[in-house]
């Protein structure tokens, strides 16, 4: 019997091999059909494929590197195609696309964090981040085919663009991830393919949404100083097919957690 719904998750796992217990807990509680991971921090041959296959994820697409970055998409439904794109010529494994249901491209991204200083001349990492976003804009502009493209974009985009995507808009305006120049660059990416921000379409401002809380806080729940760094976007062709967003906030309190939590949504097929 054909599926009517596909539940998918996006999650910066912050080193997949040491946090398989978190994956298992997420699967037990939410049972997603597809999991898009970022910051896997391992080469493709070191990825724990046997673990995922035991959980029923027999279809695995990888783009990893030793010790840093890396993305992976694991699925209970087959992929029709897999594609990776290298941005900025750095070979730092920050993108993978898996085609599902014949004509839906699921893009899994890990945008560079950008370091601590929001100055592209003084900080090479910040410059790399802005260049990465510029290349995303150009790439998606070139791939646009009116409204026919069925794309989903998920991942850790490392930018909290809206006022209520951070715990304090005024205090974070000069902090990397919420600076006006980053927000403007992300808006250009969004406009390049008329992307719809599914989370905000479903949970509009002024309600706050956070998906990340710093490890530096001794108790993340006390002040709730979070940011929405993880995103789910769709192209207009899928605007009525993706929704039912859930941010698994309590995952931030799981044993040895990532500083990000899973975000889930449902695709109607």
The residue ranges of every structural domain in the chain are 5-268
* Stretch 236-252: mean pLDDT: 97
Could you give the CA distance from residue 93 to residue 16 in angstroms, rounded to a whole number? 15
By the 8 A CB rule, do 201 and 257 touch?
no
Pull the structure tokens for residue 216.
């530096």
**How many Å apart are CA 118 and CA 177, to the nearest integer?**
9
Q: DSSP E strands: which ranges in 166-216? A: 196-197, 212-213
Structure tokens at 244: 């039912």
Query: Each residue of 110-157: pLDDT tens digit?
Result: 999 999 999 999 999 999 999 999 999 999 999 877 547 999 999 999
Percentage of the chain with pLDDT > 70?
Answer: 99
Using the Cα atoms of residue 54, residue 70, residue 265 and residue 137 in order, give the sign of their dihedral: negative
How many degrees, rounded to 5, is the angle at CA 137 between CA 191 and CA 83?
120
φ and ψ at 243, to 5 degrees? -175, -155
Question: What is the per-residue pLDDT for 27?
Answer: 98
DSSP labels, 82-116: EE----TT-----EEEEEETTTEEEEEEE-----S
Higher-pLDDT residue of 78 and 144 is 78
Q: 152 and 233 in contact (C-beta within 8 Å)?
A: yes
Classify domain 5-268 by CATH number: 3.60.10.10
Q: Model confidence at 1, in pLDDT bands (50, 70, 90)?
A: low
Beta-carbon neighbour count of residue 130 at 10 Å?
A: 17
For the chain, how many residues are written?
Answer: 269
CB atoms within 10 A of CB 217: 14
Q: What is the pLDDT of residue 217?
A: 83
pLDDT, tens only, 148-202: 799 999 999 999 999 999 999 999 999 999 999 999 999 999 999 999 999 999 9
DSSP letter string, 202-214: HS-TTS----EE-
Mean of pLDDT values over 239-251: 97
The whole-number average pLDDT for the span 220-245 is: 96
Spatial separation of the C-alpha atoms in residues 105 and 108, rounded to whole Å:
10
99 has a pLDDT exceeding 90: yes
pLDDT number for residue 2: 66
Q: pTM score > 0.95 for this model?
A: yes
| Residue 67 scores a pLDDT above 80 | yes
Q: What is the mean pLDDT of residues 19-24?
A: 98
d(CA 153, CA 102): 17
With contact defined as beta carbons under 8 Å apart, do 8 and 74 qualify?
no
Q: Residue 3: pLDDT band by 50, 70, 90 thresholds?
A: confident
- Bridge pairing between strands 151-156 and 104-110: parallel
What is the predicted pLDDT for the residue at 202? 97
Contact between residue 155 and residue 110 where contact means Cβ atoms under 8 Å apart: yes
């Amino acid at each position: 019997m054909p599926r009517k719904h596909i539940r998918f998750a996006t999650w910066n796992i912050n080193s997949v091999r040491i946090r398989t217990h978190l994956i298992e807990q997420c699967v037990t509680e939410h049972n997603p059909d597809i999991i898009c991971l970022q910051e896997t921090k391992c080469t493709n041959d070191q990825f724990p494929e046997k673990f995922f296959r035991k959980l029923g994820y027999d279809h695995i697409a990888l783009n990893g590197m030793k010790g840093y970055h890396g993305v992976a998409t694991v699925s209970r439904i087959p992929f029709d195609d897999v594609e990776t794109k290298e941005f900025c010529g750095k070979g730092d494994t920050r993108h993978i696309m898996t085609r599902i249901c014949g004509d839906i491209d699921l893009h899994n991204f890990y945008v560079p964090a950008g370091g601590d200083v929001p100055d592209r001349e003084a900080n090479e990492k910040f410059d790399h981040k802005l260049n990465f976003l510029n290349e995303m804009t150009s790439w998606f502009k070139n791939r646009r085919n009116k409204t026919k493209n069925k794309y989903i974009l998920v991942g850790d985009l490392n930018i909290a663009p809206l006022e209520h995507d951070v715990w304090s808009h005024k205090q974070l305006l000069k902090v990397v991830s919420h600076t006006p120049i980053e927000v403007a660059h992300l808006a250009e990416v969004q406009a390049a393919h008329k992307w719809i921000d599914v989370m905000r379409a479903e949970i509009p401002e002024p309600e706050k949404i956070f998906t990340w809380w710093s490890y530096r806080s001794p108790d993340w729940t006390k002040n709730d100083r979070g940011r929405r760094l993880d995103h789910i976007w769709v192209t207009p062709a899928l605007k009525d097919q993706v929704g039912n967003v859930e941010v698994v906030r309590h995952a931030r309190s799981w044993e040895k957690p990532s500083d990000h939590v899973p975000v889930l949504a449902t695709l109607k097929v």
